[in-house]
Structure 1
Amino acid sequence: MFHHHRRLLGANALGWLGAILLATGPAQAAPRAGEALSGGATTVFDVTPNAYGRALGNLDPARWTLMLDGKAVFMRDWSAFADVAAGPFSNATGCGACHFKDGRGRPLRELGPEAPLLARLSVPSKDSPSGRHEPVYGGQLHDRAIPGVAAEGVVQVSYSEVKGRYADGTPYTLRQPRYDIARLGYGQLSPEVMLSPRIPAPVFGLGLLEAIPDEAILALADEKDRDRDGISGRPNRVKSARDGAVRVGRYGWKANQPTLEQQVASAFSEDLGLTSALYPERNCTPAQAPCQTPPATRGPSLSEQQLAQTLLYLRLIAPPARRDVEAPMVVKGRALFQKTGCAACHHAEFTTGTVEDIPELSHQRVRPYTDLLLHDMGPELADGRPDGEASGFEWRTPPLWGLGLLETVNRQVRMLHDGRARGFEEAILWHGGEGARSRERFKALDKAEREALVAFLRSL
């Protein structure tokens, strides 16, 4: 049905880049059908450290070379081309430095420098509910700079313990983060600055998320909570940088990007300092001396072709299949996931629409476990920083597919927008606001039930 075995070309055929993209190992046997297929026919069956970086299971072989071309741009070390970069600041040397093996970045220093914790910045504005960029440092703090230029600063995190107990008396400990900005290179931050720490998110399955019709997302919205279930998800409506139209946001921790192209171009701009046709301005402010120096080259530093190649690559990465879907504990955990109310936001299934240029993405029954809507998560997770129509308390429901392979692929487990949670239970226990009822139901479960629910999450 899926013919995924025919897609596993060896390193001799595709070179080292092909080995990274399509490498396999002892893959788990495919379950019969149904729930295991996270991405419908695009699903791949891989439980190795390469599970997040595989081509769509139903990908036309004619696209393999094009996908590898995009992978080359994604993995490129742009620090070797500092003379062509129009922006002096960055947070990484390339896309792959943050999205380790196409997965989640590493937020803590002891886990390595590949994906530093970054901070989005803004200040309140009378003209915009979402505020405006911080006057000196702009919309994002950068801890890297080209040679001869001082970096903007670094984010430092420290933790205090928050202790609690489940209903059965079992103790738990959470970590409450505190964020500070050190080594500021261009003076003090505004006293009104709003700071939002972020870790990178996995990049597989993005083409499928883009293929979900707006109507399917909006059908789940219940801004006034008319059904009185305590869940009132709503879309973030944001402006397209391509044509100025207002669209439903679906990418980013606060759904502040309406299209994958815009998400990618924005990341090139803010994270890597590379301008493009979509974001032609340098990522520094007039208050910073480097912005007074003309760029080394005229025009965008990222070509339209490079942007298109990266975009195609990201559209063609498959979600991994679920594991152990028929195991009794996993089946029990799935029922508890529903019973506690987790599924109210982590919506299990969508069907993608028609995708003319990549028909492999069309009409797939996908299981990302997200509604792509904003939810008020209460003071427990609030960053206090609005983004588009999202308030300082709201976050987009993150997809859960592939979460059970996070430790295998990224060699660490850090969850939530800032990586504070060290595992599934901690992530649940941080839920407040619309998630508080589910959290309390989870806390009321006995140990065996909690373990079953976590087993379900590990199966995703």
Structure 2
Amino acid sequence: MTPSFGIRSLSALLLAGVALSPAARAESPPLPEVLFEPVLQVLPRTAEEAARIASVTALTEDFTKPERFEQNPGGAATTRARSDADAFSQSSENLSFEEEMDFKLGNGLFRKLWVSSPSSTRASDGLGPLYNARSCQRCHLKDGRGHPPEGPEDDAVSMFLRVSVPAHESQPMSEIEAFLLSLGDPMGEGARTRPDPTYGGQMQDFGIAGLPAEYRLGVSWREERVELAGGETASLRRPEWRADDLGYGPLAPGAMLSPRVAPQMLGLGLLEAIPAEDILSRVDPQDVDGDGISGRAQMVWSFEHERPALGRFGWKAGAPSVLEQSAAAFSGDIGISTPLFTQPWGDCTEAEAECRAAPHGDGDVRETEIDAAGLELVTFYSRNLAVPERRNVGDPQVLRGKEMFHAAGCTSCHTPKHVTHRLPGEVAQSFQLIWPYTDLLLHDMGEGLADNRPEGRASGREWKTPPLWGIGLTPQVNGHSHYLHDGRARSLLEAVLWHGGEAEASRQQVIDMAPADRAALIAFLEDL
């Protein structure tokens, strides 16, 4: 059985009772009760409260002034704006003194540099043996977003390649595959995948002394010109990603590679606290309402609770909770075992025998290389990285840009507002009006952004709507302006122009905007 941690995990808020929208209910298979059994104490909403929340979170029609509380996108957890690179590294403003101490301890573990075994620093050994980074902070520099390699000297430590191969018909179904099939959702033709038999599910570009790395990330760029209204132009760069210098032989036939940059860490606990009912109320897989938007919920297997759960975290919503996302990163990125993923060799496969046979860091009093208490602290830290306040929420150009954002239909996926669950004893995330600009659903983003690698219910063209809060501070925090799942966009305008599929109509509206309105839209995004 998977261990129980007794920590503030909201991974199964999905289990709190879900009412789908009429359109989604008409076209979606029924979801069994096992998904909705409460595993966490949550105060239910009264009908009066639900109506008030619906009114508060409704889309505005007044763009002459900021909405009430709009300056504080993280609710009471919002932190004051800073003008330095630490803008993403502040704690939720509504933590108690004792919780502040937990946050600081978690920060220390998040920044901790792990070393290979055996080592005299036995509390820090266990790195790898194959890995992408030596600490969480090395990928999420300043708790912000990663970037693609910028020249031959850049080791691309803040991004990596996921890899999988088509599953054979003879291979048994996983728990989540069997569950989805039971719902009448076979996941699409060819969507069942398995890790590469040699390289696993993630390519590691570093190895401890004497152990070759799995690969070196390679990329080629091709510029593409886009004509914009008003005589303006933009240039997009289309990447071709490669796994160069393979250290353990060729990839398996049919291997599918997907590049992923490390996302920013803001407001994760608040996203975790959004009621699943609110997320699932927006699903419309068959586009019954005819608006061109077909959001789908990602369903994943919760290793913590050993049952299906709603996916929320990761570029394709492959993790149900901050805890599971953190534990998976320890295993796959750093090669550190946790009580949830206990293999001391991380992602190494049986074909990588030297990796599995190398010394590991779990031979002393620790049962795993980071124990339950350490994982709890890192999870608490990750949940409570605060969203900075808006800086120019009342600026006329920003308000005009907000109007353009709404007019272009961007809010169909980037849902502006949510109200989190009432969580007894959980002040930081409890009953907060938040402005993350995401619906946390999967959307077809077109062939231009497709990685052609299915993940769970997500097809090779689908991605989770990423939250936009804090996105305008990326240059200040990380010193670059690279966006999207692989960092191909060099500006927010480029990121918008890469949208396709369900977002094609919105993209075209941005192309057709007058230059002043397009500039206002970017000013609005830069203020988030």
Q: Match of 1:122?
A: 164
- Whose relative contact order is higher, 1 or 2, with alpha carbons under 8 Å and at least 6 apart? 2
Q: What is the CA-CA distance between 1:248 and the residue it aligns to?
A: 0.5
Whether 1:416 aligns to 2:416 is no
Which string of whole-angstrom CA distances, capped at 9 and with x for unpartnered residues, describes residues 179-218 of structure 1? 1111111001113100000000011211111111110110
Q: TM-score, normalised by structure 2?
A: 0.79
The residue identity in structure 1 corresponding to 2:465 is T
1:224 aligns with 2:292: no
Give the match for residue 296 of structure 2: 234
Alignment deviations for residues 80-111 of structure 1 (CA, whole Å, 9 cap, x no partner):
66653274111001000011111112322359
For each residue in 1:400-421, what CA deviation from the matched residue of structure 2 results, as whole angstroms up to 9, or x when unmatched?
Answer: 0001111001010100000000
Residue 304 of structure 2 aligns to a residue whose secondary structure is: coil
Partner residue of 1:52 out of 78, 88, 95: 88
Partner of residue 336 from structure 2, selected from 274, 280, 284: 274
The answer to whether structure 1 residue 79 and structure 2 residue 115 are counterparts is: yes
Aligned pairs, how many?
430
* Cα drift, residue 74 of structure 1: 0.2
User: Aligned-pair distance for 1:115?
Assistant: 3.3
Instruction: Identify the residue that residue 225 of structure 2 maps to in structure 1.
Output: 163
Whole-angstrom distance in 2 between the partners of 1:307 and 1:141? 23
- One-letter amino acid matched to 1:287: A
- 8 Å CA contact 2:147–2:486 kept in 1: the answer is no
Question: Counterpart in 2 of 1:69?
Answer: 105
Q: Which moved more, 1:227-236 or 1:41-50?
A: 41-50
- The 3-state SS of whatever aligns with 1:181 is strand
Tell whether 2:464 aligns with 1:396: yes
1:204 aligned to 2:240?
A: no
So what's the TM-score if we normalise by structure 1?
0.90
The 10-residue stretch of structure 1 (338-347 or 86-95) with the greater mean CA deviation from structure 2: 86-95
Question: What is aligned with 2:234?
Answer: 172
Counterpart of 2:48 in structure 1 is none
Q: Secondary structure at the match of 1:359?
A: coil
Q: Which one-letter code corresponds to 1:424 in the other structure?
A: L
Q: How far apart, in 1, do the equivalents of 2:355 and 2:230 lie?
A: 59
Distance 2:294 2:466 in 1: 16
Cα 1:326–1:292 shift into 2, 3 Å: closer
Q: Alpha-carbon deviation of 1:361? A: 1.1
AA aligned to 2:79 is V
Give the Cα separation in 1 of the matches to 2:284 and 2:156: 39
Aligned partners of 1:130, 1:354: CA distance in 2, in Å? Answer: 37
Q: SS at the partner of 2:472?
A: helix
Q: Which segment is superposed worse, 111-120 or 177-186?
A: 111-120
Quote the Cα distance in structure 2 between the aligned partners of 1:252 and 1:359.
25
Q: 2:384 aligns to what? A: 316
2:353 to 262, 281, 289: 289
Show CA shifts across 1:409-449 (max 9, x none): 10101000000000111001000100111001110001101
Native 8 Å contact 1:205 1:316 kept in 2: yes
**Which residue of 2 is the match for residue 437 of structure 1?**
505
Q: Aligned to 2:400, what secondary structure does the other structure show?
A: helix
In terms of fraction of residues, the more helix-rich structure is 1
2:246 to 165, 180, 184: 184
Share of identical aligned residues, percent? 42
Q: What letter corresponds to residue 73 of structure 1 in structure 2?
A: L
Q: Which residue of 2 aligns with 1:243?
A: 305
- Quote the Cα distance in structure 1 between the aligned partners of 2:356 and 2:449: 38
Partner of 1:19: none
CA distance in 1, matches of 2:317, 2:450: 15
Contiguous gaps of at least 5 residues in structure 1:
1-30
SS in 2 for 1:305: helix
Structure 2: which 5+ runs fail to align? 1-65, 120-124, 174-190
2:139 is equivalent to residue 98 of structure 1: yes
Q: CA deviation at 1:157?
A: 1.1
Mark the CA change 1:113 to 1:79 in structure 2 (over 3 Å): closer, same or farther.
farther
CA contact (8 A) 2:116 2:128 kept: no
Call closer, same or farther: CA 1:82–1:106 in 2, change over 3 Å: farther
Counterpart Cα distance in 1 of 2:197 and 2:379: 31
Tell me by how many angstroms 1:256 deviates. 0.5
Q: Residue type of the partner of 1:145?
A: G
RMSD: 1.7
Which amino acid in 2 is paired with 1:170?
A: E
Question: 1:71/1:90 Cα in 2 relative to 1: closer, same or farther (>3 Å)?
Answer: same
- Which residue in 1 is equivalent to 2:201? 139
Deviation at 1:329, TM superposition (A): 0.6
Partner of 2:73: 38
State the partner residue of 1:362: 430
CA distance in structure 1 between the partners assigned to 2:285 and 2:267 by the alignment: 27
User: Which AA in structure 2 matches 1:285?
Assistant: T
* Structure 1 counterpart of 2:78, one-letter code: T
Cα displacement string for residues 287-320 of structure 1 (whole angstroms, at most 9, x for unaligned residues): 1132451643444211111101100111121101
**8 A contact 1:86–1:275 mirrored in 2:** no
Residue 349 of structure 1 is aligned with which of 414, 417, 422? 417
CA–CA separation in structure 1 for the residues paired with 2:425 and 2:147: 34
Deviations for 1:330-349, whole angstroms, at most 9, x for unmatched residues? 11110110000111100000
CA distance in 1, matches of 2:444, 2:409: 15
- Contact persistence 1:109–1:116 (CA under 8 A): no
Change (3 A) 1:272 1:232: same
Contact 2:81-2:390 at 8 Å conserved across structures? no
Q: In the alignment, is the contact (CA less than 8 A) between 1:100 and 1:114 conserved in 2? A: no
